[in-house]
A and B are shown apart, each in its own frame.
Chain A
Amino acid sequence: MFLTSHLLAAPLLGIDISVGDHVQRKVFGLTVNVDIVWATLIAGAVVIALGLTLRAKATNGVPGKFQLLWEMAVGAVQKQVDDSIGPRGAQVVPLALTLFIFIFTCNLFEVIGIGSKLDVLPAPTSDINLPLAMALYVFIMVHRAAVKNRGAGGYVKHYFTRPFPKKLFLVNLFMNLVDELVKPVTLTLRLFGNLFAGGLMLSLLAALVIWKLGPAPIGAVLSAPFTVVWKVFDMAIGAIQAFIFALLTILYFDTAMAPDVAH
């Protein structure tokens, strides 16, 4: 028993894995994670480049593979929006599509990482700032859509009249406030947590190298295949998280834009 736990703990004993390390600078009194900024800019540039390439090559004839990929993404988002919101949701399509492609691109950066203290190109979504920025933008847009849909009075009234009868308006207000405020928080933490954990996993797998069983370098042998398997898995996680973020955005808009009687 002691031996087992000792062996498992051994790789971690001699190595210091810290989290939240960034290349930082002070800009106008604000701390900026420079590595996250450049990774974000590169991811954005990649997405914009893909978009402009499509713009240059788009044809109404037989589409190439590149265009087909775009059309598949747009078609999937469009279908999701049509199915849940209906034709009124057309304005959500660009946001949901951009969220999916941009987040997916950012998440793929994790494949480049080696789990060092500072990666050259960290996944921007593994830092809290970008997920939070996107989630808050979605939050604001959803509530703007809700006000547009119900009118200012209807929007406020909505907090008091559902889901219980009007007599319980205080309970309704409490539940609705929690519901609405939790949405951006969960949206942020879900994405951030998954990607952050992915990076942490890479660090742990890299640290595995120092694990030796007597003279046998077991950790060094296992580290590489484990890392490969993990990266493949991590790519799937990246795609799923991007999809979930976009899907939840659509669903939040659906709730905000739904007629009052529907729920």
Chain B
Amino acid sequence: MPIATSNFLVPNGTFIVVLLAFLVVLGVIAKYVLPVLNKALTERQDQIRGELEAADKAKADAEEADVERRAVLEQARAQAREIVAQANSTADQTVLSAEARAQAAHDRIVQAADAEVVIARQAAVEEVTARVGEIVLAAAERVIGREIRATDHHDLIDEAIAAVRAETTGAAAGAAGGSR
């Protein structure tokens, strides 16, 4: 191959060949490469845009649902408050009426008990008074069983009667205290 030195600033026949080579490269890039690349880019952009739109829609839906949920919740809260208030007032009423009834029943019972106690005490006193004689006699018999000396045993009889008295009084007082 001949090697030659020429003025490096002067173009020669190479110009035509490299120009054609460049135009071929340009043609291939412009016709076959760029459209494919641009198509891929556009499609990807569309895809992303679609996804963004879907995301926006989903977000809007979620917000709507959230608002609805809040409204329902608020409604439910209000209802609950109402119900609780109602229940409270009902309970208050119930308690009041129950207390009133209980007080009434209590008063009745106490009254009845008092009356009963009084009656029982009277009955007891009468019974005891009625039995005093018997007891005296029994006491006398026990005394007589050994020796008859009334003066000596007068104290004994009195003592027995007092004991009976004390017993009946204490019982009546105990009955009255227990009912309270």
Task: Give the distance in Å from the alpha carbon of A53 to the alpha carbon of B39 in the complex.
Answer: 16
Chain A contacts with B in 168-204, Cβ cutoff 8 A: 196
Interface of B is mostly: helix
Q: With an 8 A cutoff between CB atoms, is A246 at the interface?
A: no
For B14-26 the 0/1 string (1 means CB < 8 A from A) is 1111110111111
Contact B14 A58 (CB under 8 A): no
A147 cross-chain contacts in B, Cβ below 8 A = none
Count residues on chain B whose CB falls below 8 Å from chain A CBs.
40
Q: With an 8 A cutoff between CB atoms, is B13 at the interface?
A: yes
B9 cross-chain contacts in A, Cβ below 8 A = 128
Q: With an 8 A cutoff between CB atoms, is B10 at the interface?
A: yes
Task: Give the distance in Å from the alpha carbon of A52 to the alpha carbon of B28 in the complex.
Answer: 9
B37 cross-chain contacts in A, Cβ below 8 A = 54, 58, 67, 70-71, 74
A237 cross-chain contacts in B, Cβ below 8 A = none
A40, A97, A124, A128: the one within 8 Å of B11 (CB): A128
Q: Which of B14, B15, B23, B30 has the most CB of A within 10 A?
A: B14
How many residue pairs, one in A and one in B, have C-beta atoms under 8 Å apart?
145
**Nearest-CB distance from B47 to chain A (Å)?**
7
Contact A21 B14 (CB under 8 A): no
A33 cross-chain contacts in B, Cβ below 8 A = 12, 14
**Nearest-CB distance from A192 to chain B (Å)?**
8
Q: With an 8 A cutoff between CB atoms, is A242 at the interface?
A: no
Q: With an 8 A cutoff between CB atoms, is B130 at the interface?
A: no
Minimum CB distance partner of B7 in chain A: A20
Contact B25 A54 (CB under 8 A): no
Contact A36 B18 (CB under 8 A): yes
**Nearest-CB distance from B148 to chain A (Å)?**
135
Task: Give the distance in Å from the alpha carbon of A40 to the alpha carbon of B16 in the complex.
Answer: 12
A101 cross-chain contacts in B, Cβ below 8 A = 29
For A51-71 the 0/1 string (1 means CB < 8 A from B) is 110110011110100010011
Task: Give the distance in Å from the alpha carbon of A41 to the alpha carbon of B24 in the complex.
Answer: 10
Contact A36 B14 (CB under 8 A): yes
Contact A94 B26 (CB under 8 A): yes
Chain B contacts with A in 1-53, Cβ cutoff 8 A: 1-19, 21-26, 28-30, 32-34, 36-41, 43-44, 47
Known A-B contacts: A23-B1, A37-B18, A63-B44. Give 9 more (CB < 8 A): A20-B6, A21-B5, A24-B2, A36-B14, A58-B37, A60-B39, A98-B29, A130-B14, A133-B19
Can you show 30 pairs from A to B with CB atoms below 8 A apart? A20-B7, A23-B1, A24-B3, A27-B13, A28-B13, A30-B12, A31-B13, A32-B14, A33-B14, A36-B18, A44-B21, A48-B25, A51-B29, A52-B28, A60-B44, A60-B47, A63-B40, A94-B26, A94-B30, A94-B34, A95-B26, A98-B29, A129-B12, A130-B14, A130-B18, A133-B18, A133-B22, A134-B22, A136-B19, A196-B8
Give 5 nearest A-B pairs by CB, closest first. A30-B13, A20-B8, A94-B30, A60-B43, A51-B33
B-side residues, CB < 8 A to A, are: 1-19, 21-26, 28-30, 32-34, 36-41, 43-44, 47
